[in-house]
C-alpha cells in the first residue's frame, strides 16, 4: 500500500488510538456488516468459527441491495453498469445436497449432505460445508432445502454406553442367558409385567433396538416358567430424580462496586430465597425495601412523586389546564428561538413526526416546582443521507474529568459548574428537515409543516449540532480544543 501511495502522490494518516470518530465512514460500514452478519448467524445458528463466511455473505448481499445513498441503486449496478441478478440467491445456513462427483464405488451416495455458507469469489457455484467431513468446498450442482437449518436443532447424541438396561428380578439366572450389562448414572430397578408404567418415555426411547427383542424374550420365558407361582411383589417406589449439579464457582462482585454503599436498605425477610430466583441474584431486591431511615422531607418527596401520574399522550394532557399551559409555554419558547418556520411541504420531501413528553419537576421537599412539557421529534423516522448525515458527538472521558479535578485540587483552583437550558435548541441545523406541526397546534385545514432551523430534541444529529455550536462559541472566547479529548477546551493566558 505504501508504494501505491507514493506512486500516486497520496498522503495517508493513521487514526489516533481509541478514536473511531476519525474514521467514521469506515466504522459505520463495519457496523452495517456486523448487523447483517449477526442476523445471518442467528437464523442459521452457525458455529462462531465460521464468522468469516458470515461476513463475506453479508458483504455479498449488501453490495446487491439498493440504498438511498446511491439513489436507490445497488453498489453492484454502479460498478458493472447493470443491475444484479437475484435468481441464484439462497438462504444462508440452510440444508443442501451437493452432487458427489467422485464416488468411490457404485453404492456410494451420489450427493453429500451439506450446509450452504456463501458464494465463492471468481467461481459460478456455491460454497458449502459438508456435515460428514466438516470440509468446505465449492459445488455447482446443489439442491437446497431453504426452510431447514441443521445447526438450529441438532439432536442430542446419546452413546450406547450411557443407556440403562434394568435387570428383571423374577428370572432365574441359572437358566436364562446373560443380558448385556450397560452402565448409567442411576441405580438399576427391577423389571416385571407391571413395571412398564414406571418406565419413562425417555428410557423407552433410548433402549437399543438390538437389546429389546432379547429383553422381551426373557420376560416371556420367565412368565411361562412353572416355578413362578408366587405373587410378584409390588415394584419399589421410583428413585428420586438426581439432584441438579450446581457450580461451585464463587461469584465475586465487580471491583467498581466496592465504593458503592446502600445505607437505606435493610433486610426485611431473612427467609429462604424463592426457588424461582436464579443463582446470580442471591439477594433479591424485593427483600431490601425500607424507608424507615429516610428523613421527613424525603418521605414527602417519595410520597408526592408516587401520588401524581404524568400523562403519556396529548389526549391525556389536553384535559388538564396545567399541562395545556406547559405546552403553550414550550411552543412560545421554540418560536422565540426561531426553531422553525411554517412552509408548505416541497415535492419529494417527507415530514417526520413529533410528540409531547410530560414531566413533573419537584423541589427537594417534594413540592411541585413546575409542569414541564417538551416537544420531541421522532428521529427514528429520519432517513440516513437525506435527513441527516453524521451523528457522532464527543463526550467527556472519565479520566479527563478526574485529571481536571486533581489538578484543580493541587493548584487550589476554583471550579464552576453551569447548565445550559434547552441546550440542543441552540444548535444550528444544516440539513433540510421538515416536521409535522405539534399535536394540538395544527390549525384547521392548514397544510403547512415546520421547516426546522434548530436541532430539536430527538433528532439524530441533535447532539452533534449542539456540540458544534458549543465548540465554535468557546473557540471565539479564546479556548483551544484538546487533541487528546475533544470535549476538553483549554485557554492559555
Residue-wise pLDDT for 53-63, tens only, equals: 999 999 999 99
| Residues 193 and 114 placed together within one structural domain of the fold | no
Q: Spell out the residues 6+ positions from residue 384 whose beta carbon is closer than 8 angstroms to its own.
A: 68, 69, 460
pLDDT of the residue at 309? 82
What is the pLDDT at residue 25?
87
Which residue did the predictor score with more confidence, 446 or 173? 446
Does one domain contain both 89 and 195? no
Q: Which pLDDT band, with edges at 50, 70 and 90, does 413 fall under? A: very high
For residue 266, the model assigns a pLDDT of 53
Co-location of 342 and 479 in the same domain: yes
Beta bridge partners of 73: 67
Instruction: Output the nine-digit C-alpha cell for 396.
Output: 467527556
Confidence of residue 224 (pLDDT cuts 50, 70, 90): low
CA distance 341 to 343: 6
Residue 269 confidence class, pLDDT cut points 50, 70, 90: low
Parent domain of 99: 6-152
In the structure, how many helices (H) and strands (E) does the chain have?
Answer: 11, 12
98/249: higher pLDDT: 98
Same domain, 405 and 468: yes
Residue of higher predicted confidence among 103 and 218? 103
Per mean pLDDT, which range of 164-173, 255-264, 302-311, 332-341 is the poorest? 164-173
- Better-predicted residue by pLDDT, 227 or 22: 22
Residues 119 and 13 in one domain: yes
- Lowest-pLDDT choice from 62-66, 84-88, 270-274, 471-475: 270-274
Q: Which has more confidence, 283 or 328?
A: 328
Residue 270 lies inside a defined structural domain of this protein: no
**pLDDT average, residue stretch 293-312:** 71
Asked, for residue 84, whether it belongs to a domain, the answer is: yes
Provide the domain count of the chain: 3
pLDDT band at 2 (very low <50, low <70, confident <90, very high): confident
Contact predicate 463/391, CB 8 Å = yes
Q: Which residues contact 327 (CB under 8 A, 6 or more apart)?
A: 317, 356, 373, 438, 440, 441
Q: Does a structural domain hold residue 265?
A: no
12 and 146, same domain (yes or no): yes
Residues 458 and 330 in one domain: yes
pLDDT surpasses 70 at 210: no
The pLDDT > 70 percentage for the chain reads 70
For residue 380, tell me if it sits in a domain: yes
3-state SS, residue 340 = strand
Total-model pTM: 0.42
- Same domain? 129 vs 177: no
Q: Is residue 242 part of a domain?
A: no
Q: What is the pLDDT of residue 192?
A: 46
Tracing cell 462559541 back to the chain, one arrives at 473
Question: 142 and 193 share a domain?
Answer: no
Question: Is residue 276 over pLDDT 90?
Answer: no
Q: What is the mean pLDDT of residues 64-70?
A: 91
287: pLDDT strictly greater than 80: no
Pairing label, strands 434-435, 340-344: unpaired
CB 191 within 8 A of CB 169: yes
pLDDT at residue number 165 = 43
Closest CA to 427 of 397, 390, 471: 471
Residues 207, 165: contact at Cβ < 8 Å? yes
Burial track 288-324 (b if 16+ CB lie within 10 A, e otherwise) = eeeeeeeeeeeebbeebeeeeeebeebeebeeeeebe
Query: 107 vs 196, which has greater pLDDT?
Result: 107
Write the DSSP string, 172-212. -TTTSPPPPP---SS------TTGGGTS-HHHHHHS-TTTH
Is residue 245 in a domain?
Answer: no
Residues 12 and 113 in one domain: yes
- Share of residues in the chain with pLDDT > 90 (%): 43
Predicted local distance difference test score (pLDDT) of residue 206: 45
**Chain centroid, CA 166 distance in Å:** 47
Name which of 479, 482, 481, 483 is nearest 492 in CA terms.
479
Q: Is residue 295 over pLDDT 90?
A: no
Residues 330 and 478 in one domain: yes
Alpha-carbon distance 9 to 40, whole Å? 41
Cell of 293: 431511615
CA end-to-end span of the chain: 44
CA distances from 315 to 322, 324, 355, 390 (A): 14, 11, 11, 35
Q: Mean pLDDT throughout 335-362?
A: 91
Nearest in space to 101 (alpha carbons), one of 47, 142, 161, 152 = 142
Distance CA 30, CA 35 (A): 9
Q: pLDDT at residue 457 above 70?
A: yes
Neighbours of 355 (CB within 10 A): 16
Angstrom CA distances, 316 to 313, 353, 357, stand at 5, 19, 12
How much of the chain is helix, strand and coil, in % rounded to 5?
30, 15, 55
Domain boundary among 174, 204, 234: 204
Q: Are residues 72 and 178 in the same domain?
A: no
Q: What is the mean pLDDT of residues 338-366?
A: 89
Lowest mean pLDDT across 162-176, 296-310, 318-332: 162-176
Q: How far apart are CA 472 and CA 466, in angstroms?
A: 10
Chain mean pLDDT for the chain: 79
Q: Check residue 402 and give its pLDDT.
A: 94
Say how far apart CA 482 and CA 479 lie, in whole Å: 9
| pLDDT > 80? residue 92 | yes
- Indicate if the pLDDT at residue 65 is higher than 70: yes
Note the pLDDT of residue 367: 77
The H or E element that residue 99 is part of is strand 95-99
**Residue 405 pLDDT grade (very low, low, confident, very high; cuts 50, 70, 90):** very high
Q: pLDDT tens, 11-58?
A: 888 888 888 888 888 889 999 999 999 999 999 999 999 999 999 999
In a domain, 210, yes or no: no
Residue 187 has pLDDT above 50, yes or no: no
DSSP string, 373-403: EEEEE-GGG--BTTTBS--------HHHHHH
The 3-state secondary structure of 111-176, one letter per residue: EEEEEEEECCCCCCCEEEEECCCCCEEEECCEEEECCCCHHHCCCCCCCHHHCCCCCCCCCCCCCC
| Predicted local distance difference test score (pLDDT) of residue 188 | 45
Q: What is the mean pLDDT of residues 270-281?
A: 48
The CA distance from 362 to 347, in Å, is 46
User: Which region among 243-257, 300-314, 328-342, 448-462 has the lowest average model confidence (pLDDT)?
Assistant: 243-257
DSSP 69-90: GGTSB-HHHHHHSSPPP-TT--
Say if 63 falls within a structural domain. yes
User: What pLDDT, on the 0 to 100 scale, is given for residue 369?
Assistant: 87
Per-residue buried b or exposed e for 214-230, using 16+ beta carbons within 10 Å of the residue's own CB = ebeebbeebeeeeeeee
Amino acid at each position: 500500500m505504501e508504494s501505491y501511495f507514493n506512486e500516486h502522490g497520496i498522503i495517508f494518516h493513521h487514526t489516533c488510538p481509541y478514536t473511531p470518530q476519525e474514521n467514521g465512514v469506515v466504522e459505520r460500514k463495519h457496523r452495517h456488516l456486523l448487523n447483517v452478519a449477526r442476523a445471518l448467524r442467528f437464523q442459521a445458528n452457525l458455529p462462531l468459527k465460521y464468522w468469516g463466511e458470515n461476513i463475506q455473505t453479508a458483504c455479498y448481499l449488501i453490495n446487491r441491495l439498493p440504498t438511498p445513498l446511491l439513489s436507490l441503486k445497488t453498489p453492484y449496478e454502479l460498478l458493472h453498469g447493470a443491475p444484479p441478478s437475484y435468481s441464484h440467491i439462497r438462504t444462508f445456513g440452510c440444508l443442501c445436497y451437493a452432487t458427489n462427483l467422485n464416488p468411490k464405488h457404485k453404492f456410494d451416495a451420489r450427493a453429500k449432505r451439506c450446509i450452504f455458507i456463501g458464494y465463492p469469489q471468481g467461481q459460478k457455484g456455491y460454497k458449502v460445508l459438508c456435515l460428514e467431513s466438516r470440509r468446505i468446498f465449492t459445488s455447482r450442482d446443489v439442491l437446497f432445502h431453504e426452510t431447514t437449518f441443521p445447526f438450529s436443532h441438532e439432536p442430542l447424541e446419546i452413546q450406547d454406553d450411557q443407556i440403562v438396561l434394568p435387570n428383571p428380578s423374577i428370572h432365574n439366572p441359572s437358566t436364562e442367558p446373560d443380558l448385556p450389562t450397560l452402565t448409567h448414572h442411576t441405580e438399576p430397578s427391577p423389571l416385571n409385567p407391571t413395571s412398564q408404567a414406571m418406565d419413562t418415555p425417555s428410557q423407552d426411547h433410548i433402549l437399543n433396538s438390538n437389546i429389546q427383542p432379547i429383553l422381551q424374550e426373557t420376560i416371556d420365558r420367565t412368565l411361562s416358567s412353572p416355578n413362578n407361582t408366587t405373587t410378584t411383589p409390588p415394584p419399589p417406589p421410583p428413585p428420586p430424580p438426581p439432584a441438579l449439579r450446581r457450580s461451585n464457582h464463587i461469584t465475586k462482585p465487580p471491583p467498581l462496586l466496592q465504593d458503592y454503599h446502600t445505607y437505606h436498605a435493610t433486610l426485611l425477610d431473612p427467609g429462604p430465597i424463592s426457588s424461582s430466583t436464579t443463582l446470580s441474584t442471591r439477594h433479591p431486591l424485593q427483600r431490601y425495601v425500607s424507608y424507615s431511615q429516610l428523613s421527613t422531607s424525603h418521605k414527602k418527596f417519595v410520597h408526592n412523586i408516587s401520588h401524581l401520574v404524568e400523562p403519556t399522550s396529548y389526549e391525556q394532557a389536553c384535559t388538564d389546564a396545567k399541562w395545556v399551559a406547559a405546552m403553550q409555554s414550550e411552543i412560545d419558547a421554540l418560536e422565540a428561538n426561531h426553531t422553525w418556520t411554517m412552509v408548505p411541504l416541497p415535492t419529494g420531501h417527507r415530514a417526520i413526526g413529533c410528540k409531547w413528553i410530560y414531566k413533573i419537576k419537584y423541589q427537594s421537599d417534594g413540592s411541585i416546582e413546575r409542569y414541564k412539557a417538551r416537544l420531541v421529534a421522532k428521529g427514528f423516522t429520519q432517513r440516513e443521507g437525506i435527513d441527516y448525515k453524521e451523528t457522532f458527538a464527543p463526550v467527556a472521558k472519565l479520566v479527563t474529568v478526574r485529571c481536571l479535578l486533581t489538578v484543580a485540587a493541587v493548584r487550589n483552583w476554583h471550579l464552576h459548574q453551569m447548565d445550559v437550558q434547552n441546550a440542543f435548541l441552540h444548535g444550528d441545523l444544516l440539513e433540510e428537515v421538515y416536521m409535522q406541526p405539534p399535536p394540538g397546534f395544527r390549525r384547521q385545514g392548514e397544510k403547512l409543516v415546520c421547516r426546522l432551523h434548530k436541532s430539536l430534541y430527538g433528532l439524530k444529529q441533535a447532539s452533534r449540532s449542539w456540540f458544534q455550536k458549543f465548540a465554535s462559541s468557546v473557540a471565539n472566547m479564546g479556548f483551544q480544543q484538546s487533541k487528546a479529548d475533544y470535549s476538553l477546551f483549554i485557554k492559555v493566558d
